[in-house]
Amino acid sequence: MSRYDLSQLQNIVTALLDEARRQGATQAEAGVHAQQGLDVTVRLGETETIEHTNDHGLGISVYFGQRKGSANTTDLRPEAIRETVAAACGIARHTEEDPAAGLADAKLMIQEVPDLDLNHPWDIDAQQAASLALECEDAARAFDPRIDNSEGASVHTQNSLFVYGNTHGFVGGYPTTRHSLSCAVLATQDGEMQRDHWYTTSRLAGELESARSVGEEAARRTVARLGSRKPATTECPVIFKADIATSLMRALFGAIRGSALYRKASFLLNQLGEPIFPDWVNISENPLLIRGLASAPFDNEGVATRANQIIDGGVLRTYLLDSYSGRKLGMQSTGHAGGVHNARIENTGESLQQLMERIERGLIVTELMGQGSNPVTGDYSRGAAGYWVEDGEIAYPVSEFTIAANLRDMFSGLLAVGGDNHIPGSIDTGSWLIERMTVAGN
């Protein structure tokens, strides 16, 4: 386990802030973390790697008026703390004033840190982790004779402590855990090779999917891709499978993030209060979700988090602002220093099969490749793989094509969100059915 406990990290943050005041800073904020973890990977029936991690570090930002300096270190000794603060102060004294610089407003600080039940250590050693990973890989390899190779199965567990404080008088933190099991395998048929994977993740080891089910799902997804063809170039409806639709949610959040907005680097500039989705679409976040994978009682500036309605009836109701971007935009922090927490889009109730039945000819996308999304214009073009749908049924797997549209059109052309929202992760979404995209294939 880590050498540090929560009270020790709180004492370190207090010492950082005291030292910053002593060196003349008018304001300061600091964060300290300590992590302990285990990663075990097996491949083709043998243990391949065992990695133990035990690390820690701190960062401090100081303000001399509205001049800012920051410094980091992994050395938590008292003399190192003094040197790190001195380095930050030296930077601040030589930077230009920035009218938007400074701590988040004191009135926004969290008053009491609630227990969100985020800390569930997994009592597992390397040998037990390897056995679990082997069970997962064995299930995948035994699923179908066409599974003839493996990239391995991995077990990961991590315990973390984080404490943040600032000179408003706030010092708070909490422990978290995160555990996961994953598997990736390859299959061959008629000289064609395909690969896919699956995984499970949770704060609580007892809530992970079974090793057998993860391995079998990885194998099922891999085998289903055999016999892949290149589709014809066309325009058609596209279903983004649930685990891929999360990327569209992230594209939305990136476009309404404060730093993108004040730099005018977003295709959703000046859209607050405007409809950007159909009127049935509702997207929310709940940072205070018990055991949520992205739960956090306060953001990276100590601002209390709260439930938010991001899209309400298709209308954009909030930007995602930290204190700096808020000031640049003449607004107030929304508690999003560090991002969105446990986002969820309401579904329209259909199963994936029912979404397919709405398509005469179209695509299901199960994998995206490349970074072909322009956050400034919203132009979207990605390499993809998936399945071709004819008359509401999967006809055959497809690969080696691109899909293209503009994100504004994709959002406004969202026809349905499936109820198949049973994917691991911090974004809760089902599959998205989008009215029309360009497919570039043969």
- Whether 173 is in a domain gets the answer yes
Record the tokens describing residue 83, joined without a space: 């040197």
Specify whether 216 is located in the same domain as 232. no
Write down the pLDDT at residue 2: 56
- Could you give the CA distance from residue 171 to residue 373 in angstroms, rounded to a whole number? 39
Specify whether 202 is located in the same domain as 315. no
- C-alpha 81 chain-centroid distance: 31
- Could you give the CA distance from residue 367 to residue 128 in angstroms, rounded to a whole number? 32
- Whether 269 is in a domain gets the answer yes
- Whether 22 is in a domain gets the answer yes
In three-state form (DSSP H/G/I as H, E/B as E, the rest C), the secondary structure along 160-196 is: EEEEEEECCCCEEEEEEEEEEEEEEEEEEECCEEEEE
Specify whether 103 is located in the same domain as 201. yes
- Could you give the CA distance from residue 409 to residue 415 in angstroms, rounded to a whole number? 12
Specify whether 165 is located in the same domain as 241. no
Angle at 364 between CA 362 and CA 368, to 5 degrees: 125
- Whether 322 is in a domain gets the answer yes
Specify whether 111 is located in the same domain as 251. no
Which residues constitute the domain of residue 22? Answer: 6-223
Specify whether 294 is located in the same domain as 363. yes
Strand 192-202 relative to strand 432-440, pairing? unpaired
Specify whether 398 is located in the same domain as 367. yes
Specify whether 179 is located in the same domain as 204. yes
- Whether 127 is in a domain gets the answer yes
Specify whether 80 is located in the same domain as 172. yes
Q: What is the pTM of this model?
A: 0.94
User: Of 198, 223, 248, at which residue does a domain stop?
Assistant: 223
- Whether 1 is in a domain gets the answer no
Specify whether 183 is located in the same domain as 153. yes
Question: What's the number of domains the chain is made of?
Answer: 2
- Whether 263 is in a domain gets the answer yes
- Whether 62 is in a domain gets the answer yes
Strand 234-240 relative to strand 427-428, pairing? unpaired
**pLDDT tens track of the chain, all 442 residues?**
457 899 999 999 999 999 999 999 999 999 999 999 999 999 999 999 999 999 999 999 999 999 999 999 999 999 999 999 999 999 999 999 999 999 999 999 999 999 999 999 999 999 999 999 999 999 999 999 999 999 999 999 999 999 999 999 999 999 999 999 999 999 999 999 999 999 999 999 999 999 999 999 999 999 999 999 999 999 999 999 999 999 999 999 999 999 999 999 999 999 999 999 999 999 999 999 999 999 999 999 999 999 999 999 999 999 999 999 999 999 999 999 999 999 999 999 999 999 999 999 999 999 999 877 899 999 999 999 999 999 999 999 999 999 999 999 999 999 999 999 988 889 999 999 999 999 998 8
User: Of 172, 206, 223, at which residue does a domain stop?
Assistant: 223
Specify whether 250 is located in the same domain as 356. yes
User: Of 186, 205, 223, at which residue does a domain stop?
Assistant: 223
Which CATH number goes with the domain that contains 152? 3.30.2290.10
- Could you give the CA distance from residue 55 to residue 226 in angstroms, rounded to a whole number? 43
Specify whether 197 is located in the same domain as 280. no
